[in-house]
């Protein structure tokens, strides 16, 4: 049995009320030993990672449990999590390797094609999981920096049109009626868009090439996606829109072109989103 599974079994016998204190002490000890990787991420022995969050219901833990149930998908495994005040804690397995963002300029065309293929394979497996409700992985209201008002004033979104009405705002403004509105309204009104499980933050900074770029190039180990705190059940095109929302110039940014190939079925929504972002005069917060 893998060591992390043994630790998971052991932690089941720890009283729930004690876990926040246990994890807080563990984080403090990691920081004192110089193993604090980020303001809320701590490296632990046995290749484990402890992550703190201000959320009272850690969405990432629920998301990783869902991903764990999908055969053939590489991701960190949740060992345990604890809800506390002011922090909640997620204990998960770590992945040794290079962050794709750190080595992006070193990627060859062949490397990029492989990343595209591996992401396509992953998404094809994960998006087979469908449901009717639009919600976070934890089944709470979606928390998304692009539409933060849904978190601040929780709404119940019942279908894809209701969701995209929140994504593409201001279509009825005078300067958008004859330009942006005719392109986007038909996409909003589609009723046949499936609600699927999505990562919600597929960016180079959240892709790990296991073992490092050199090792990844030389073997068949599949990339890992990390940091799924925004994972949710949402309309299928949302993955593409979130993966490109930081792009400044789609003609110059190769990542935009890669995502367009990864999620080719959402190319119409990607083009409409760029039209809205460049012409609507409404800034993404």
| Segment 179-231, tens digit of pLDDT | 999 999 999 999 889 999 999 999 999 999 999 999 999 988 899 999 999 99
Q: 108 in a domain, yes or no?
A: yes
What confidence tier does 84 reach under pLDDT thresholds 50, 70, 90?
Answer: confident
Q: 284 in a domain, yes or no?
A: no
Please, which residues have CB within 8 angstroms of residue 184's CB and are 6 or more apart in sequence?
168, 171, 272, 275, 276
Model confidence at 242: pLDDT above 70: yes
The answer to whether the CB of 91 falls within 8 A of the CB of 23 is yes
Query: Does one domain contain both 18 and 149?
Result: no
Q: 77 in a domain, yes or no?
A: yes
Q: 262 in a domain, yes or no?
A: yes
Number of domains in the chain: 2
For β-strands 207-210 and 224-225, DSSP reports them as: antiparallel
The residue range of the domain holding 122 is 97-279
Query: Does one domain contain both 37 and 162?
Result: no
More confidently predicted of 231 and 146: 231
- 3-state SS, residue 140: coil
Q: What is the dihedral of CA 57, 88, 19, 71, to 10 degrees?
A: 60
pLDDT at 144: 85
Query: Does one domain contain both 75 and 147?
Result: no
Q: Nearest 5°: phi and psi at 172?
A: -90, 0
pLDDT at 285: 62
CA distances to 4, 235, 284 from 198, rounded to whole Å, are 25, 9, 20
Query: Does one domain contain both 11 and 148?
Result: no
Angle at 30 between CA 13 and CA 21, to 5 degrees: 40
Domain termination residue (choose one: 35, 60, 93): 93
What confidence tier does 130 reach under pLDDT thresholds 50, 70, 90?
Answer: confident
Query: Does one domain contain both 165 and 37?
Result: no
Mean pLDDT (the chain) is 92
Domain CATH code at residue 72? 3.30.200
Q: How many Å apart are CA 234 and CA 126, to the nearest integer?
A: 13
Q: What is the dihedral of CA 55, 57, 61, 66, to 10 degrees?
A: -130
The 10 Å Cβ neighbour count of residue 244 is: 24
Average of pLDDT values for 241-263? 94
Does this model's pTM top 0.95? My answer is no
Query: Does one domain contain both 249 and 165?
Result: yes
Q: How many Å apart are CA 110 and CA 177, to the nearest integer?
A: 43
Query: Does one domain contain both 57 and 106?
Result: no
Query: Does one domain contain both 138 and 167?
Result: yes
Q: 67 in a domain, yes or no?
A: yes
Query: Does one domain contain both 111 and 86?
Result: no
Domain CATH code at residue 119? 3.90.1200
Domain termination residue (choose one: 93, 111, 145): 93
Domain termination residue (choose one: 48, 73, 93): 93
Q: Partners of 225 in the beta sheet?
A: 207
Please, which residues have CB within 8 angstroms of residue 246's CB and are 6 or more apart in sequence?
203
Query: Does one domain contain both 157 and 59?
Result: no
Q: 285 in a domain, yes or no?
A: no
Q: 28 in a domain, yes or no?
A: yes
Q: Partners of 241 in the beta sheet?
A: none
Query: Does one domain contain both 29 and 63?
Result: yes
The 10 Å Cβ neighbour count of residue 189 is: 11
Query: Does one domain contain both 102 and 39?
Result: no
Q: 133 in a domain, yes or no?
A: yes
Q: How many Å apart are CA 153 and CA 127, to the nearest integer?
A: 28
């Amino acid at each position: 049995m893998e060591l992390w599974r043994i630790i998971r079994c052991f932690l089941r016998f720890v009283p729930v009320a004690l876990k926040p204190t246990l994890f807080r002490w563990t984080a403090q000890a990691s920081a004192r030993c110089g193993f604090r990787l980020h303001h809320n991420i701590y490296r632990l022995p046995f290749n484990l990672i402890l992550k703190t969050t201000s959320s009272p219901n850690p969405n990432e833990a629920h998301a990783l449990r869902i991903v764990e149930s999908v055969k053939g998908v590489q991701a960190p495994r949740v060992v345990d999590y604890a809800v506390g005040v002011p922090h909640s804690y997620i204990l998960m397995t770590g992945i040794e390797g290079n962050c794709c963002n750190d080595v992006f300029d070193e990627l060859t065309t062949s490397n990029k094609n492989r990343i595209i293929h591996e992401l396509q394979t992953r998404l094809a497996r994960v998006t087979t999981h469908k449901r009717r409700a639009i919600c976070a992985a934890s089944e709470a209201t979606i928390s998304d920096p692009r539409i933060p008002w849904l978190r601040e004033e929780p709404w119940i979104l019942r279908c894809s049109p209701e969701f995209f009405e929140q994504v593409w705002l201001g279509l009825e403004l005078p300067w958008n009626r004859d330009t942006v509105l005719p392109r986007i309204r038909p996409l909003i009104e589609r009723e046949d868009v499936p609600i699927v499980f999505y990562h919600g933050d597929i960016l180079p900074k959240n892709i790990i090439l296991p073992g490092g770029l050199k090792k990844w190039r030389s073997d068949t180990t599949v990339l890992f996606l990390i940091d799924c705190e925004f994972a949710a059940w949402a309309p299928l095109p949302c993955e593409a829109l979130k993966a490109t929302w930081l792009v400044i110039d789609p003609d110059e940014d190769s990542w935009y072109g890669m995502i367009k190939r990864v999620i080719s079925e959402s190319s119409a929504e990607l083009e409409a989103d760029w039209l809205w972002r460049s012409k609507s005069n409404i800034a993404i917060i």
